[in-house]
Structure 1
Amino acid sequence: MATPSTPAFDFTTSNSSSNSSTDEPFLVRNDTSTIVGAIILSFVFLLGVPGNLFVIWSILARSRKRSITTLLIFNLACADGFLMALTIFFIVYLAKQTWIFSRFLCKTLFYLCNINMYASIMLITLMSLHRLVAVVWPHRVSVLQKKRIMIRILAGLWLLVLLLALPAVIFRQVRTDKMETRWECAPDHTAGSEVFQYTFETVVGFLLPYAVIVSSYVCILRRLKRTKFNRTARSENLIHAIIVIFGLLWLPYHIINIIQVVAALCPQDSDLRKRLDKIWGSSRAVTSSLAFISSSVNPVLYTFAGRSYMKSNGLAFMARLFEGTALDSGTRKARTETMGMKTTESSNSGGAQAVRNGR
């Protein structure tokens, strides 16, 4: 039996076959999961679209200095905002409990969805790595501070996510049941490719980037505590929020991925497989919707982090936040402190040498 598998997101809770029609249960087999998923996506749409548009507007219209950090935040907001605009199609899909759009839109929407979600994850990882280099190794960050080089890195990142999302175009199909009463946009895979796809998705799309993010921020926080930056408390709170929320929103989806992989490896008619199929089948829509929240929550985090700028800067508060927390400022301070430490060491060494010479 072949089951659906696609990178980034899959609202499908049913099993697919190689034919355009099947008697397997569709997503609507669980009304509670469908309703909850539609409600979550509606909330995400209302919060994520204006939120990310405000971030984009703040950078383009209000930001006086666009650092590398601002460039990364801009790309992230564009990726998240574009994904949020696509949620309206999935809300209709869940609300009507049938796919009412064309086969072309089936492939295109899921492809764009996957592109933007992989881009969001990769951009967050790139932001953490850039911050890591700037804070921990400030004398090496000059190369990354060149916008031409960062643009090339971003171009490579976008090319990577274009490739990672290709399975949505290759395998997505519109199919119906034998009664032809309901339609579904679902991937068509063999059992072997199902195991590979979901394992690859969880490792590449969650475990590896999340491990990089956590490791980077652990090193960053150690550096911040050692150098005692002025913005240590705010930076720590924002970093903790990004890490915790990212993990909490993505973890349920990938747990369901693992459950589905284990189910696929079980014997065809075993009781364990039936139980596991029921678990992932009834949870897929909700966990996919929860993962969408990760693209709407960043503007909220920025708002809380920049609330102290609101009174003095009005609608430009977010632009001032990006300028005030730019890595360039932190890098200069880190360099100054590093140079200061070296100067102190040199002075101490010189003093010791003078004492020895005096003797």
Structure 2
Amino acid sequence: MAKNGSSLLHYVNKSTSTPVLFTEDTVEDSSIVSNDATTAIGALILSLVFLLGVPGNLFIIWSILARARRRSVTTLLILNLACADGFLMCLTIFFVIYLARQNWDFGNPMCKGLFYLCNTNMYASIFLITLMSLHRLVAVVWPHRVAALASKKTVVRAIAVMWVLVFFISIPALLFREVRDDHDEQNKTRLVCASGHTLSQHVVYQYTFETVVGFLVPYGVIVSSYICILRRLRQTKFRRKVRSEKLILAIVVMFGIFWLPYHSINIIEVVAEQFEDGSTMKKRLDMVWQPSRAVTSALAFISSCANPILYTFAGKSYIREDGMAFMARLFEGTSLDTGIRKGTGLKDALSFSSTGGNAVKNEK
């Protein structure tokens, strides 16, 4: 029987007691819940993610809403990213319990809903980072047009459209996820939250779409934007480092590091579906993606708790002077778009960005 994966966590179903929902043609997925070692490792990783990610993202949200006096477009995008990541981190406690007990105790609606929300976070994160990169592109390459092309009002509308879009394109994760019975090696029955595609073509469609739309296309836009930004900066004599560019570039790189393995496994699984069951090539590809799925899924979760750590390192120079408000000062220091106004050139705009922290302090 051909096998498939699912978004973020994947589960074994060696046999099923629900033939009404899943016929012999159902393409079932493989998972880590049948292995004591991998479930223990997965539960430990997700526990650490929960402990770091929830307070970290809540601190970002508090810093922006309560302490930041200048809310730029970049800050607004970071706020949305922190809300998406923080909400996902709150959901990890359900997966920790699932992995620890090796049994799904939360019912079918939660099974569908939790994995659906995981997918929306994946799309929202990469789309928000893409919007950050496009905004930097307009601000640096066309600084005099930023008010018209990338104003705060325009970006707010783009964010609203983005959220509607991500909730729509994540529907496949909602449709293909079900709770079903499974029997382990000791023939004990347990409930698993697993996906079951009725056709192998559904596997190919879902994971090809997920990788292309959720990674390849937006990441291509991001890379192209930064190539244009670097070319523009090289054309100027202004060589000072820009805080906002460095911070956003670090976010982009961090996201790529944690999500590239996951999407690589998606591609391998899709390629495996092109070969007949029992063929040598299919067996080799299955041996690559099946044991790797748990690890790459855990890395994907880690990406949502990495940004608070990244911001802390980026804003460490503010900690001694500003205390708990250090992250708010960091975000105020990245307000490149605030400094670009009518009559302001690229050099002046970049100068404002790289000295944003001092500008804030001078206002006191």
Q: Does 1:204 align with 2:213?
A: yes
CA distance in 1, matches of 2:69, 2:31: 51
- Give the counterpart letter for 1:11 in structure 2: H
TM-score of the two chains, using structure 1 as the length reference: 0.85
Q: How do residues 57-136 of structure 1 correspond to structure 2 at under 5 angstroms? A: 57-136=62-141
Q: Is the 8 A contact 2:2 2:277 kept in 1?
A: no
**Structure 2 counterpart of 1:170, from 169, 175, 186:** 175
Q: Is the 8 A contact 2:58 2:86 kept in 1?
A: yes
Deviation of 1:100 after TM superposition, in Å, equals 1.9
CA distance in 1, matches of 2:247, 2:38: 32
Name the structure 2 match of 1:305. Answer: 314
CA distance in 2, matches of 1:72, 1:339: 23
Deviation of 1:213 after TM superposition, in Å, equals 1.5
Q: Residue 118 and residue 300 in structure 1: after superposition, are their counterparts in 2 closer, same or farther (change >3 A)?
A: same
Gaps of 5+ in 2: 350-364
Q: Is the 8 A contact 2:3 2:29 kept in 1?
A: no
Name the structure 2 match of 1:238. Answer: 247
Name the structure 1 match of 2:331. Answer: 322
Deviations 1:85-112 (A, max 9, x none): 1111111122222222200100111111
Q: Is the 8 A contact 1:4 1:12 kept in 2?
A: no
Q: Is the 8 A contact 1:138 1:334 kept in 2?
A: no
CA RMSD of aligned residues (A): 2.7
User: For 1:43, what is the secondary structure of its paired residue?
Assistant: helix
- Give the counterpart letter for 1:245 in structure 2: M
Deviations 1:276-296 (A, max 9, x none): 223322121111110111111
Q: Residue 184 and residue 129 in structure 1: after superposition, are their counterparts in 2 closer, same or farther (change >3 A)?
A: same
CA distance in 2, matches of 1:99, 1:65: 45
Q: Residue 127 and residue 27 in structure 1: after superposition, are their counterparts in 2 closer, same or farther (change >3 A)?
A: same
User: For 1:64, what is the secondary structure of its paired residue?
Assistant: coil
CA distance in 2, matches of 1:243, 1:30: 34
Deviation of 1:145 after TM superposition, in Å, equals 4.6
Name the structure 1 match of 2:11. Answer: 12
Q: Is the 8 A contact 1:135 1:220 kept in 2?
A: yes
Name the structure 1 match of 2:194. Answer: 186
Q: Is the 8 A contact 1:55 1:74 kept in 2?
A: yes
**Structure 2 counterpart of 1:258, from 267, 272, 279:** 267
Q: Is the 8 A contact 2:12 2:29 kept in 1?
A: no
CA distance in 1, matches of 2:295, 2:288: 12
TM-score of the two chains, using structure 2 as the length reference: 0.84
Deviations 1:210-245 (A, max 9, x none): 111122123223334444658616445434432332
- Give the counterpart letter for 2:121 in structure 1: N
Deviations 1:179-232 (A, max 9, x none): 561221111211011011111111111111111112212322333444465861
User: For 2:33, what is the secondary structure of its paired residue?
Assistant: helix
User: For 2:179, what is the secondary structure of its paired residue?
Assistant: strand
- In our comparison, the structure showing a higher alpha carbon Rg is 1
CA distance in 1, matches of 2:70, 2:133: 20
Q: Is the 8 A contact 2:39 2:99 kept in 1?
A: yes
Q: Residue 337 and residue 116 in structure 1: after superposition, are their counterparts in 2 closer, same or farther (change >3 A)?
A: closer
Q: Is the 8 A contact 2:136 2:245 kept in 1?
A: no
Q: Is the 8 A contact 1:139 1:335 kept in 2?
A: yes
Q: Is the 8 A contact 1:125 1:212 kept in 2?
A: yes
Name the structure 2 match of 1:49. Answer: 54
Q: Residue 209 and residue 32 in structure 1: after superposition, are their counterparts in 2 closer, same or farther (change >3 A)?
A: farther
Determine which structure has the larger helix proportion and give its number: 1
CA distance in 2, matches of 1:14, 1:229: 60
Q: Residue 334 and residue 177 in structure 1: after superposition, are their counterparts in 2 closer, same or farther (change >3 A)?
A: farther
CA distance in 1, matches of 2:51, 2:72: 29
Deviations 1:167-190 (A, max 9, x none): 122111011125561221111211
Q: Residue 338 and residue 247 in structure 1: after superposition, are their counterparts in 2 closer, same or farther (change >3 A)?
A: closer
Q: Does 1:290 align with 2:299?
A: yes
User: For 2:345, what is the secondary structure of its paired residue?
Assistant: helix
CA distance in 2, matches of 1:15, 1:234: 52
- Give the counterpart letter for 2:154 in structure 1: I
User: For 2:192, what is the secondary structure of its paired residue?
Assistant: strand
Gaps of 5+ in 1: 341-359
Q: Is the 8 A contact 2:268 2:289 kept in 1?
A: yes
Q: Is the 8 A contact 1:10 1:284 kept in 2?
A: yes
- Give the counterpart letter for 2:66 in structure 1: A
Deviations 1:27-48 (A, max 9, x none): 3344433332222211211111
Sequence identity, in percent?
61
Q: Is the 8 A contact 1:41 1:292 kept in 2?
A: yes
Deviation of 1:2 after TM superposition, in Å, equals 5.3
Q: Is the 8 A contact 1:136 1:223 kept in 2?
A: yes
Name the structure 1 match of 2:357. Answer: none
Name the structure 2 match of 1:280. Answer: 289
